[in-house]
Amino acid sequence: MEIFYNFELTVPLEIEETLSDRILLKGTFLKLSQPTANGREYLVEEGEQIASSLVNQPLYFGAETGTNKHLVDEQHKIGRVKEAIFDAGKKIIHGVVEVWNNSLFPDLIQKVKTGWGFSIRGKVKAFQPTGRLNSLGRAVMKVIGMEPTSISLLDPSVKRGQQEARVEGAVEETMSFDPCPWGICEVEINNIESPPRRIIRRRTLTIIEE
């Protein structure tokens, strides 16, 4: 029988650039094979699966004062994970998140500052003791079967579990469109020798390096 436990992991956030109505941020979501402040160690062997599960997960803002419990209702939804990639060499999961303002937080992206954090929320199948202690003296447990269900954006007052993970910069999104948005343009009837042109809709992400 598989038993699922809820888990939370918080990490710092740094930003460099914002857009008028939203912000795209690139950075490290999770450092694997390294104990967190909460005594959790995430497996490199599960990196691909974790990254795949993160894509399109919702992004929320805020946590309860005192408990640090994530606020994951619809009012607190402020974005999503656009891309998540497992880097086996660096033992990290990195990618891009999209953050936008909503009716509850109409100027959120204008307020995000260096030091804000991410927090991954989800469930795991089991915890396996390692017999080791982290730098805070807490027993380190390997996380088995991690399944992310959301990510939260947190202000600096909320405790973080993994200081190594952070946003390294902003992503500028550019889009180009042909004048035939449905894929095939009409042609004049008397031009029977020319077949309809198939137009490909392109969407390009350009990374802004520091």
Q: Which two tokens stand for residue 48?
A: 């691909």
* Cα–Cα distance for residue pair 49/85, rounded to 1 Å: 10
Structural domain includes residue 199: no
Structural domain includes residue 125: yes
User: Are the C-beta atoms of 78 and 153 separated by less than 8 Å?
Assistant: yes
What is the domain count for the chain?
1
The number of CA neighbours under 13 Å toward the Cβ of 110 is: 7
Structural domain includes residue 10: yes
Structural domain includes residue 29: yes
Structural domain includes residue 205: no
Structural domain includes residue 186: no
CA-based nearest residue to 82, from 95, 93, 72: 95
The number of CA neighbours under 13 Å toward the Cβ of 48 is: 1
Structural domain includes residue 207: no
Show Cβ contacts of residue 12 under 8 Å, excluding neighbours closer than 6 positions: 115, 116, 117, 118, 160, 163, 165, 166
User: Are the C-beta atoms of 118 and 10 separated by less than 8 Å?
Assistant: yes
pLDDT at 167: 72
Structural domain includes residue 36: yes
pLDDT in tens, 146-205: 999 998 887 777 776 777 767 777 777 654 444 444 444 444 434 434 444 443 344 434
**12: β partners:** 117
Write down the pTM of the prediction.
0.70
Positions of the chain with pLDDT under 50:
14-19, 175-210
pLDDT at 23: 85
Q: Which residue segment(s) compose the domain that 140 sits in?
A: 5-172
pLDDT at 87: 97
